[in-house]
Each structure stands twice: as C-alpha cells, then as structure tokens.
Amino acid sequence: MSNYAHDLPKDKSGNAMQHYPAPKLALAQFNNENNTTSSVISLTHDTTSIEIAPVGVGAVMRWVATTDTAASVVSASGGDFDHAIPADTVRRFVVPRESAGANNLASVQGINREEGLYQRVAIKSYVIASVLTTEY
C-alpha cells in the first residue's frame, strides 16, 4: 500500500505541524451557497484530500462509489452519510480507497485514479446555508 496523501508541513526542527493543511495549492474549490439539497462533486484526477467548511450550520458528507447511481447524501433520520461536520469548522479528509486502482504504466493518469481512490463526494448542509469545499 502506497502513501498517497500529502505530507504535513514541518517546522524548522523537522516536527510535523499537526493542525495545518498540507503545503499544497488547491486543485479545485466549490461554494455551495444557500442550498439544502445534496451536491455531488467529482474529484479531479489528482485529488488525494479535501477540506469541507460549513458556514453557519453543520453539514454531512458521504463518499460516493462509482457504481452508485443515486449519488446523494441524507441527514434526516435514518440518514445515509459518512461524516458530520460541525458548523463554522474546517474538516480535512484524506480520500479513502474505493478499489484496487489502475496501475497502468502505459497510461497517463492522476494519483486519484492510479490508487483507486473515491472519485466523488456528496455534501449537504442541515438547513439553508453555505458549504465550502476545497480539493488538494
């Protein structure tokens, strides 16, 4: 199993800075404003981690398999979600593996597809609010 997630930044002494994002520029940003429906985001071929920041109210998210045709997230009773994110916080996630990956050396592909990581994520706020999502 390879280590596909980006390294944590390090201070001058070489110690990992735990509560800081990886020193990497964002690959994509999404701002889902004033919406209560589930939004499904397709991740870039190079995405290995994401940040989700709900503004004002909390949100839920779910990793969406490529075989999932419904592709949504539900936060009501009996909900279908993987993580809950509290209001006005930033949660960082390393994209988990969905499959064995496509180790095709003859093909040009990003690390997300090569490692078999999830390619989609569904996000929904609890009530009308904004949710910011960033891909790394």
> Is 17 among the domain residues?
no
> Is 23 among the domain residues?
no
Residue 65, domain extent: 28-135
> Is 7 among the domain residues?
no
Q: Which three-class secondary structure state does DSSP give residue 59?
A: strand
Model pLDDT, residue 106 = 59
Structural domains counted in the chain: 1
The torsion angles phi and psi of 111, rounded to 5 degrees, stand at -65, -30
Model pLDDT, residue 103 = 65
Q: Which three-class secondary structure state does DSSP give residue 124?
A: strand
CA–CA gap between residue 74 and residue 72 (Å, rounded): 7
> Is 38 among the domain residues?
yes
CATH of residue 123:
2.60.120
- Positive or negative, the CA dihedral 126, 75, 54, 40 is negative
pTM here?
0.82
Provide the residue count of the chain: 136
> Is 118 among the domain residues?
yes
Tens of pLDDT, residue by residue, the chain (136 residues): 578 888 888 899 999 898 887 788 899 998 887 776 778 899 999 999 999 999 999 999 999 998 887 766 665 555 688 999 999 999 999 999 998 777 666 567 888 888 999 999 999 888 878 898 999 9
> Is 55 among the domain residues?
yes
86: which residues sit within 8 A by CB, 6+ positions away?
A: 54, 58
